[in-house]
Amino acid sequence: MNRHLLFFLTSLSLCLPIFSKPTPLVPNQVVVVYNSTLPESKALAEFYALNRLIPTSNLIGLEVPEKTTIDRLTYEKAIRQPLVKKFMENQWWELSKDQNGTSVPFKTKIRCIALIKGIPLRISREAVPKDEESSTRQFKKQNEASIDSELSLMGVSNHPIGGVIPNPCYNKEISAATNPAEFMVMVGRIDANTYDHCNR
């Protein structure tokens, strides 16, 4: 074989991983969250986990209201805090504090949360306290949120809830399985008008 051709092929083989597709998630990197007060929500979670080979230990039932919208206090007590506790108990991550005293996850083993129909969709807007209103920019008053987006940062304490937080993974080809932003979790949802549609 021509020496120059051999050098080219060797160099190309070393470069291929750079252009390879992102590493896919494996089943034990996924947690499935359902509404434990709704039998059909649990059944859908079990159906999804079975078909995706997700361990049953990665299924989490939460006792949440059967509503599409909840207030932030309900979100904290019924969704975020129980999930953070479960992640700690199962050693799915560790929490450290930065120089500002903010808790930040690291050594994260779970890369994706799949929310099942029955889990609320959004957090309602809360009024800004009068003493803050004059000094608060208009967009900062927008503290309503998608539950999916809030859960992506559920391990980060004291992050601002008003306005917009830039997504460091936006418009980048980053695998959820190897995402370097360990403080974030990818959140998806299995939802539709009916549970029959979800099962399809």
In tens, the pLDDT along 23-71 reads 788 999 999 999 999 999 999 999 999 999 999 999 999 999 999 999 9
Quickly state the pLDDT bin for 98 (edges 50, 70, 90).
confident
Angle at 156 between CA 155 and CA 159, to 5 degrees: 145
Task: State the pLDDT confidence band at 9, using cuts at 50, 70 and 90.
Answer: very low
Q: Residue 162: what pLDDT? A: 61
Has residue 106 got a pLDDT over 60? Answer: yes
Sequence-distant contacts of 49-54: CB under 8 A, at least 24 apart: 52/27, 53/27, 54/27, 54/28, 54/30
Is the whole-model pTM more than 0.85?
Answer: no
Pairing of the two strands 69-70 and 122-123: parallel
- What residue segments make up the domains of the chain, in order of their start? 23-199
3-state secondary structure 155-187: CCCCCCCCCCCCCCCCCCCCCHHHCCCCCCCEE
pLDDT digits (tens, 9 = 90+) for 10-20: 444 444 554 55
| CB proximity list for 27: less than 8 A, separation 6 or greater | 52, 53, 54, 55, 58
Q: Give Cα separations from 99 to 93, 96, 103 (angstroms).
A: 20, 10, 10
Please give the C-alpha separations between residue 50 and each of 23, 57, 59, in angstroms, as whole numbers: 22, 12, 11
- In terms of C-beta density within 10 A (0-12 exposed, 13-18 middle, 19 or more buried), how is residue 66 classed? exposed
Residue 32 bridge partners (DSSP) = 59, 114
